[in-house]
Amino acid sequence: QEQLVESGGGVVQPGRSLRLSCAASGFTFSNYGIHWVRQAPGKGLEWVAVILHDGTNEYYADSVKGRFTISRDNSKNTLYLQMHSLRGEDTAKYYCARDSGLRVLEWLLDHWGQGALVTVSS
Amino acid sequence: EVVLTQSPATLSLSPGERATLSCRASQSVGTYLAWYQQKPGQAPRVLIYDASNRATDIPDRFSGGGSGTDFTLTISSLEPEDFAVYYCQQRSDWPPLTFGGGTKVEIK
């Protein structure tokens, strides 16, 4: 069945960088857009970014624009989130989630990974 | 940006009772509204999409309604596994994709 597995989380100092990965299996990865959604401890869900199925376009939340970059390698069935200039408010569990649309963004998240925890602290 | 406001923040009910959750949008989203359930320590999962359509394998005790700016999620008779946090999400106006702040359904 469809599966998404995040990795790369950890503790990082403010101002430093970190890259998250999301490995996909059980579906044709190159046919679907993939989102990153984060959740600060004890808080609600915040959408972070999305990349189209073929990597030709991305969208970002204002809170991360210019600091985070979403990318994908369809040959490896893997999504990435490169995070620079990290701040305390970036501390959260980061989920990758599949968009439900086939080769088009529907902005509905039908499968989610279990998340990777990123803690920004000195 | 479409702001989604969920109420109440917490709903205290007993198993077998009916739960009614509300989500209000700051502007019309048509019927492009989804509901997600999140249990402690788990990822969210989609329950309802396009206001009233149940996602795959979702029991029929879950139902959604509404259009425009006012939406409801109803759980007709709460099962023990239904105590969780519920989020609404709009996909009418993007980016960004936006979520409501959540409603926690807890055991009374």
* pLDDT, tens digit (0-9, with 9 covering 90-100), for A33-86: 999 999 999 999 999 999 999 999 999 999 999 999 999 999 999 999 999 999
Cβ contact A61–B96 (<8 Å): yes
Model pLDDT for residues B66-80, shown as the tens digit of each residue: 999 999 999 999 999
Strand residue runs (E) in B1-108: 4-7, 10-13, 19-25, 33-38, 45-49, 53-54, 62-67, 70-75, 85-90, 98-99, 103-107
For residues B2 and B26, give the distance between their C-alpha atoms in angstroms, rounded to a whole number.
6
Q: Taking CA atoms, what residue in A is nearest to B55? A: A110
Per-residue model confidence (pLDDT) at position B55: 97
Place B108 in a pLDDT band, splitting at 50, 70 and 90. Answer: very high
Q: Which residue out of A57, A64, A108 would a mutagenesis test of the B interface target, given it has the greatest number of B Cβ atoms within 10 Å?
A: A108
Could you tell me if B100 lies within 8 Å of chain A, comparing CB atoms?
Answer: yes
Model pLDDT for residues A73-100, shown as the tens digit of each residue: 999 999 999 999 999 999 999 999 999 9
